[in-house]
Amino acid sequence: MNSVDLNIPLSRLSLVFVFAAMAVYTIAFLIFVWNLSQASSTKKAERAKATQSEKWGFGFFATAAAIHAAGVVMRGISAGRVPWANMYEFSISGSFIVVFIYLLSIRVRDIRVIAAFVNGFVLLVLGSATTLFYVQVKTLMPALQSYWLVIHVTVAVLATAFFNIAAALSVAYLLRGSDWVANSKLKAIAIVRRVLSVFPKEQQLERLQNRFNSIGLLLWSFTLIAGAIWAERAWHRFWGWDTKEVWTFIIWTLYAGYFHATTTRGWTGKRAAWLSLVGFSAVIFNFTIVNLFFKGLHVYSGLK
Amino acid sequence: MASSQRSSDLTPESSDRTESPEIGVVGWLRWIWRQLTSMRTALLLLLLLAIAAVPGSIYPQRSADPNGVTSFFQGNPQLARVLDALQLFDVYSSSWFSAIYILLFVSLIGCVIPRTLVHYRALRSEPVALPTRLQRFPGYRKITSDASGKHVLAKGEAALRAKGFRVIVRAGSISAEKGYLRETGNLMFHVALIGVLITAGIGGGLSYNGQRVLVEGETFVDNLSSYDSFNPGVFFKESQLKPYAVTLNKFEAIFDLKNPTNIGTPLDFRAHVTTRTTPDAAPQRSLIRVNEPLQAPGANVYLTGNGYAPVLTFRDPDGQVSFSGPVEFLPQDANYTSLGVVKLPDAKTQFGVLAFFYPTKQQLKTGAFTSSFPGLVDPLLSMNIYVGNLGLNDGSPQNVFQLQVHGLKKVAGPKAPNKAVQLVVGQTKKLPAGLGSVTFDGIKRYASLDVAYNPTEGWVLFFALLALASLATSLSVPRRRVWIRKFEGGFEVAALARNDDPNLDSLVDEIVQSITPKKSSRKATK
Ligand code: HEM
């Protein structure tokens, strides 16, 4: 690469789209929360209105996703490459993939009830992306100029999306199964209890959590292998216990542990759900703390 | 579907419950072995392995970041000694980390072998007999029908066979099973993991890697003495090195000068080299880039770093040359503010130079310099000079990038009698304290090359991909059992799946459908 042309005005427009998407996501989020309160209402007339508000919620959610997608694509075009070379780009692309996978998944399995969780999470990610992680468009460092960036990172983002949805299901599972929530006399908890009554049965939640985690684990295994192949090209060895490699390994091992837990006697149910959350915490930790503060060869936050 | 039922019905291995050990050594050993190969132990070891890997990402590791370890020792010697005793700077080769993964793999082998035998027998045996009470299974249907027993069994068998089930028809009932591939995949997955570990282990023993910094114009010949540093595996023999030669003709570093948000970002690094595979082979030109190593005989040559090497000539007061040649400077920041050291043990008065190189100089408010662009726009060299015994004569090894200033007298630079000696390309300047003169002849670039050889990489990849494919198989193939029983005035169908299987109900419906196609003539009760 001898010279490049970055389209800086387009990258600014992309940011505007990301902000617009956040605004619409916020509306969708409020509708989803309202919808949950309707669906869990003690009054029958209120409950009947829930179907309608859910439709509105998904309408806004899908619109936000479309604006979000446009923002991501523009960022890619303005940089002349895939839009996931630093934390800002990784966040906006990754959160879009979460939304995309979620919207696809609700056609296969009925997981509409976790919309508020997913929506809230995406807002949180976009919020940190625009405030904490924002960097202007840049070209790729030579080490990142490889088609493995496309393969390795795409799959990692996909895996994260599946782990993310599974984690939302685990939270729902734990809340539903919690004795404390079931018996607490607090008013606020009573509301939570009613909201939870809208959710699928625990067994159903557990099964879904399992499915999403298993797809996540497969994709993560692929991420790990693709990363090793790339490391062989870029750094002369396929595995060197670099910080990021260590965390990829830890996450993989935790989810392998999760699968052993779900297939052995003593460790199903709550313990498995906790493991699923521990695994996802490691994913988040890897993306935030490890990227920003740990030393290693993978320095791509783009932040000084 | 209750999980307890699922496992007790389908898990081939007998039990991981603690049983009271038989008396005697053999009994104990057997008990220990059973504990070690239980799923619970495997799970604990896996989680332990994950936790044990964490400190290696917190503390610098000798294998990945030896300088980090050195500076940790300098900054915090007491803590460093404690951590070192706990092998926390060598986590991944430490005895405790090794103990966990070796135990895990012993457990794995001890688990996989019996499971393989069980699975092999299961593959050859008939589907399990009809349980007495079918009602307790999740996909249960009871159908009132006037169809004959012969009809029910024949249709049921045909439907199940069409779906790929293994079917056995007994008197008045059918047992069918499908999805052995799930267990096959799972076993293959675990075996492939063993394959990864073994091939990676062998590779670690046979492999080597070495580093060499090559300035433009220099040639590297592959033998031990040409390396700046070299890390052989335990089985490495020097005869493995093939005497090929690599000459760095030119190093190109391209930085963005055009896009405002991107000024100074490296766009490409290219090492133009000439290689000779044997001393008398024809020379070949090629290009090494990051991500694009050169395939040399028996090894790959990777580009891992680069920097500037100002060419300097030092002369004694009488004009005698005491040093002449390129000096490799280490970049300190993204704009290649670089630090270099020259030691002149052969000068009339022994002295050392600690020099800063700014490819594009910019003066800060404080008067100090920095570099504002990594390319050579306005280069400047600034030298601090130290006089005294450099300690090179006692033969102890020294870092070429470090000058031990302790015990030396600073004669030029900040807080010294004279200002730092500053030069642009082509300039010659007199040195203070009667040390002679220095000429800045020109600027070359250097490339840091890594030569690495690992003969089992392909095998590791093979087993890793095998593990991935088997895992995919084992996670996606449903394992199902179906039973059909004929009774007076109707029949029952029951199905059981091992894992999450949302399609189980529709499978049962389809089977019922194919036995009694006309909807009106049957009445199903769940
Ligand atoms: C390096 C260590 C290990 C890793 C990474 C690992 C990973 C996995 C994974 C990811 C699964 C899920 C596959 C699936 O659900 O089909 C699995 C299943 C299983 N593993 Fe392991 N495993 C390891 C060691 C062991 C050991 C030591 C044992 C025996 C004690 C064992 C026994 C099993 C069994 C029985 C299953 C089947 C679960 C089922 O599908 O019912 N594994 N393993």
* Per-residue pLDDT tens digits for A91-106: 999 999 999 999 999 8
Cα diameter, chain A: 68
Q: Which atom of ligand 1 is nearest to the CA of B115?
A: 35
CATH code for the structural domain at A1-140: 1.20.120
With b for 16 or more beta-carbon neighbours within 10 A and e for fewer, the A121-142 pattern comes to bbbebbebbbeebbebbbbbbb
Of the listed ranges B126-130, B160-164, B263-267, the one predicted with least confidence: B126-130
Q: Are B355 and B389 in contact (CB under 8 A)?
A: no
pTM summary value:
0.84
Q: How confident is the model at residue A296 (pLDDT cuts 50, 70, 90)?
A: low
| Tokens (6 digits) for B19 | 């049983």
> Which of the pair, B388 or A278, is modelled with greater confidence?
A278
Q: How confident is the model at residue B1 (pLDDT cuts 50, 70, 90)?
A: very low
Q: Are B200 and A239 in contact (CB under 8 A)?
A: yes
> Which of the pair, B444 or B239, is modelled with greater confidence?
B444
Query: Is a pLDDT exceeding 90 seen at residue B446?
Result: yes
pLDDT tens-digit series, residues A107-146: 888 788 888 889 999 999 999 999 988 988 888 888 788 8
CA distance A126 to chain B (A): 22
- Residue B236 alpha carbon to ligand 1 centre in Å: 35
| Tokens (6 digits) for A249 | 């390994």
- Structural domain spans, chain A: 1-140, 144-304
Compute and round to an integer the Cα radius of gyration of chain A. 20
Which of A30-39, A246-255, B199-208, B283-292 is most confident?
A246-255
H or E element: which one contains B210? strand B208-215
- Residue B294 alpha carbon to ligand 1 centre in Å: 40
Q: Residue A44: helix, strand or coil by DSSP?
A: helix
Residue from the list B7, B268, B290 with its beta carbon closest to the beta carbon of A265? B7
CA distance B347 to chain A (A): 40
H or E element: which one contains B170? strand B166-170
Best residue among B5, B34, B108, B183 to mutate for probing ligand 1, ranked by most atoms within 8 Å of CB: B108
Q: Are B387 and B351 in contact (CB under 8 A)?
A: yes
C-beta B108 within 6 A of ligand 1: yes
Q: How far apart are CA A239 and CA B184, in angstroms?
A: 28
Cα A275 from chain centroid? 17
Q: Residue holding tokens 């939270």? A: A171
The residue among A101, A234, A81 whose CA lies nearest residue A159 is: A101
| Tokens (6 digits) for B30 | 């057997």
Q: Residue holding tokens 């027998």? A: B121
Rounded to the nearest 5 degrees, what angle is found at the Cα of B53, between the Cα atoms of B47 and B59?
A: 150
Strand B294-296 and strand B266-276: the pairing is unpaired
C-beta B112 within 6 A of ligand 1: no
pLDDT tens-digit series, residues B199-249: 998 988 888 888 999 999 999 988 888 888 888 888 888 888 888 899 999
Q: Return the percentage of chain B with pLDDT > 70, whole number.
A: 92
Q: How far apart are CA A179 and CA A182, in angstroms?
A: 5
Q: Where are the beta strands (DSSP E) in chain A?
A: none
Amino acid of residue B143: I
Q: Are B322 and B346 in contact (CB under 8 A)?
A: yes
* Total residues found in chain A within this entry: 304
H or E element: which one contains B369? strand B369-371
C-beta A56 within 6 A of ligand 1: no
